[in-house]
Amino acid sequence: MTMWRKATASGLVLAPIALAVSTGIDPALGEDQGYGIYRQHPDATQWHSLLLHWAWVLYVPGLLGLLALVRRRGFAPAVVAWVATVLGLVTFSALMAADFGLLALEQQPGLTDAQLAAYDDRIGAMGWAAAGWQIPGIAGWALALLVTPLALLRARVIGWWTAGLFLAGAVLYLLFAISPVPLNLTGPVVLVVAGVLAARSVLSHVPPPEEPDRFGAFRRTAGMVCLVAAPLSFAAGMATVPPRWTQASAFFLHLAWVLFVPAVLTVAERGGRFTRVVSGLAVLGLINFSALMFGDYLDLAARQALGDAVADRAQELTGGYATFSLGWVLPGMVLTFLGLILVAVGAAVDGLVRWWVPVLVGAGFAGFFVLGLGPIGVVGPLVLLAGFGLMAAALRRTAAPVVV
């Protein structure tokens, strides 16, 4: 698993670096948090939001890779940190899309601060956005940053200095993220140091051979459950497509791509090099793609508060931002669909599943693209459910017994 450890170490270093750069170029710092700042600094706004999104994206495999070294000691906090990272930190990365949505509105002439405030209020009044995205995203983000180092310290994966620096960096960022430069950089800089030390621990850590891998058993079980739950959530999202159930549909589609993250990591743990590589790429794609579902709330709020013409223009402007289309949308879509298909292919090549499993997965995604929206759109996800359900069953049958 040397490749996985190198990927984990890279994420732990690159994530806080992206966070530091993003924080340093944030145009909305200090006490002035009013509307119009994005309009005055469109380029800085785009790069700040994109890099901030990618900082949290890279932290996901970094933290999950660290937690994969936990065995029995530190099991309880590791479970909390794992759930917070998968469900919370991934969701939190999606919220950065709100900056692109607001920028697209601020760049339209004639919109007043009162109209922009009405748009923000409309988003805040959406129950699905609050309960499905904002609350779990913010809470999970904080728990992931604060509980993970405690779990790793308890498991003796990292030392006191590394855990202390990680916690100090997280707290400093939480306190001073929007303070003027250089105060706002203290947290990210400390997190860079903590990331370097944690990366060294990842590359050198040797788990005690006599310690039962209780946390590994939890991760594998959760991953196999997600192999079924992810396409089920996908089907629920397609069954509740707009216009009547826009908010519910966006949430279930987001949840589907989130749940596929631990699912493909579980397959990768049993697969060969090719399967591990495409699984890693699929994870990056899934995190990016799941975030795009938050755009449905932004579009709905713009239509309800500002009208269809303004919302259509905002969609056009957002799609024209190269930072968004090339740095977020393209990797999200390509790596998600191609990655999930190749993960199934890799599992078949490795002998984990029979050849018809990748055929079912490919057919499921083909049905999704060909059949489109509406009640018939659930056919593709249900075919995916069959494919990934067979994969989960195969992994369960061939799993090595774990002593807990």
Over range 340-357, report the average pLDDT: 95
Is the pLDDT reported for residue 96 higher than 50? yes
DSSP string over 33-45? --TTHHHH-HHHH
- Structural domain boundaries, residue 359: 2-398
**Per the domain annotation, does 145 fall within a domain?**
yes
Is 52 among the domain residues?
A: yes
The mean pLDDT value for 213-226 works out to 95
* 197 pLDDT higher than 70: yes
pLDDT score of 402 more than 50 = no
The predicted structure's pLDDT at residue 374: 65
Please count the structural domains in the chain: 1
> How many of the other CB atoms lie within 10 Å of CB of 375?
10
The answer to the question of residue 29 being in a domain is: yes
Mean pLDDT of the residues in the chain: 92
Domain contains 213: yes
Please state at what angle helix 186-204 crosses helix 42-67, rounded to 10 degrees: 30
Quote the distance between the C-alpha of residue 54 and its chain's center: 9
Residue 404 within any structural domain of the chain? no
On whether residue 403 sits in a domain, the answer given is no
* 108's tokens: 């339209």
Predicted pLDDT at 259 = 97
Residue 159 vs residues 17, 149, 202: alpha-carbon distances, Å: 22, 9, 12
Tell me, yes or no, whether 154 lies in a domain: yes
- Chain centre distance of CA 217: 23
The answer on pLDDT for 403 being more than 50 is no
pLDDT tens across 72-87, in order?
999 999 999 999 999 9
